């Protein structure tokens, strides 16, 4: 395929892992980067081999050589700049969550449909063999009938000044890490009669940060009667990003499903035996960029398109409401 020509909005730390390294491995071109601080953009470009720097995000969107935009800005800036990128005729690979709330996600979904452009939300884990193997074990009946999906996403707290704690920037534990756990639940809908629905949710606010969730736990139910359990926190002592799938004849456990390049194990336990499968440490971000390029160049379908993003945001909003909190506000730019 012709190399994808990418522009990067901002110089977030995630960009190095999520787009720079995969671009080198897949042959994509990093045409330009823009940041609010041009000096930071120049440093980023020099360090990562980006071809040029633009003085503003809009200037980057106006660059005719750029065909696709990667958006790693703060959560609250995803939706507004995704909409602007689509309006500028650019394909979009956006960090998760792709918008601040479901109403904004609907606006983005409608813009994608009108434009005919490719839109991808960066739930990169979904493209890695670890997640695909977990789904395969359920789909082929190797674990029996699906009974429960348990997703845990907990981590130590970022500094108080971190944007992930900012309500105006759509911060909170669910928006930063919990969205993975909720999305993972939805990934098993095809094997449980349909998408899961929320049963209940409980949350706790961060001290001195009204409206910002420090932790949230949720219970879900699938149409076939299987249950879903979500535990998410940005105030834990240690990191745990795990996923367990329980069936009538056994279970499968991925200890680090969100970053399988760090731990690629799937541990399968049945009544007869226990074994460990290693699915490879090639990065989930590289699989993601390959899928994005395939959609842009060949029209290949995506697991995490704008319709999927809308469904995830609807579930996120439902969790906030059930826990007595408000969905995240839309940010101004």
Which domains occur in the chain, in start order? Answer: 5-123+287-305 (3.40.50.720), 129-281 (3.30.360.10)
The side-by-side arrangement of strands in the sheet containing 197-206 is 197-206, 209-221, 227-233, 146-154, 240-247, 250-254, 265-270, 274-278
Torsion-angle region of 225 (φ positive above 0: left; ψ -120 to 50: alpha; else: beta): left
* Contact present, 152 and 173 (Cβ < 8 Å): no
What is the Cα Rg of the chain in Å?
A: 19
In this prediction, residue 255 carries a pLDDT of 98
Residue with tokens 């469904």: 311
Number of residues written out for the chain: 333
Dihedral, 167, 12, 263, 30 alpha carbons, nearest 10 = 140
Write the pLDDT tens digit of every residue in 152-183.
999 999 999 999 999 999 999 999 999 999 99
Count CA atoms closer than 13 A to 38's CA, side-chain side: 7
Greatest alpha-carbon span in the chain: 62
Give the relative orientation of helices 179-186 and 306-322 as an angle to the nearest 10 degrees. Answer: 120
Q: In 3-state terms, what secondary structure has residue 165?
A: helix
In this prediction, residue 332 carries a pLDDT of 84
* Contact present, 231 and 153 (Cβ < 8 Å): yes
Cβ neighbours of residue 80 closer than 8 Å, sequence gap 6 or more:
330, 331, 332, 333
What is the DSSP track for 44-71?
HHHHHT-SEEESSHHHHHT-TT--EEEE
pLDDT less than 50: residues of the chain: none
Q: In 3-state terms, what secondary structure has residue 203?
A: strand
In this prediction, residue 288 carries a pLDDT of 98
For residue 155, give both structure tokens.
């981590």
Burial of 307 (0-12, 13-18, 19+ CB in 10 A): middle
In this prediction, residue 333 carries a pLDDT of 82
- Proportion of the chain in helix, strand, coil states, percent, rounded to 5: 35, 25, 35
Cβ neighbours of residue 37 closer than 8 Å, sequence gap 6 or more:
none
């Amino acid at each position: 395929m012709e190399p994808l020509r990418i522009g990067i909005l901002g110089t977030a730390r995630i960009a190095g892992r999520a787009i720079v390294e995969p671009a080198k491995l897949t042959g994509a071109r990093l045409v330009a980067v823009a940041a609010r601080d041009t000096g930071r953009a120049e440093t980023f470009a020099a360090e990562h081999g980006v071809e040029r720097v633009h003085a503003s995000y809009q200037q980057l969107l106006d660059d005719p050589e750029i065909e696709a935009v990667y958006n790693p800005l703060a959560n609250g800036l995803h939706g507004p700049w995704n909409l602007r990128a689509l309006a500028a005729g650019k394909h979009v690979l956006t960090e998760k969550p792709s918008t601040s709330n479901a109403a904004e996600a609907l606006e983005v979904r409608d813009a994608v449909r009108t434009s005919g452009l490719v839109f991808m939300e960066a739930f990169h884990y979904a493209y890695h063999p670890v997640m695909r193997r977990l789904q395969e074990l359920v789909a082929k009946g190797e674990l029996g009938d699906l009974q429960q999906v348990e997703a845990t996403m907990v981590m130590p707290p970022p500094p108080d000044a971190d944007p992930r704690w900012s309500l105006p920037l759509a911060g909170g534990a669910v928006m930063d890490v919990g969205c993975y756990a909720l999305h993972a639940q939805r990934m098993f809908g095809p094997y449980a009669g349909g998408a899961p629905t929320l049963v209940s949710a409980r949350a706790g606010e961060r001290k001195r940060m009204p409206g910002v969730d420090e932790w949230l736990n949720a219970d879900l139910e699938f149409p076939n009667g299987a249950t879903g359990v979500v535990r998410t926190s940005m105030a834990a002592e240690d990191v745990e990003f795990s996923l367990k799938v329980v069936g009538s004849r056994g279970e499968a456990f991925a200890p680090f499903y969100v970053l399988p390049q760090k731990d690629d194990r799937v541990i399968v336990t049945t009544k007869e035996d226990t074994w460990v499968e290693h699915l490879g440490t090639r990065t989930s971000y590289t699989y993601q960029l390959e899928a994005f390029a395939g959609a842009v160049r060949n029209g290949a379908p995506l697991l995490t398109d704008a319709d999927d993003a809308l469904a995830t945001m609807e579930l996120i909003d439902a969790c906030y409401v059930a826990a007595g909190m408000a969905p995240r506000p839309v940010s101004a730019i």
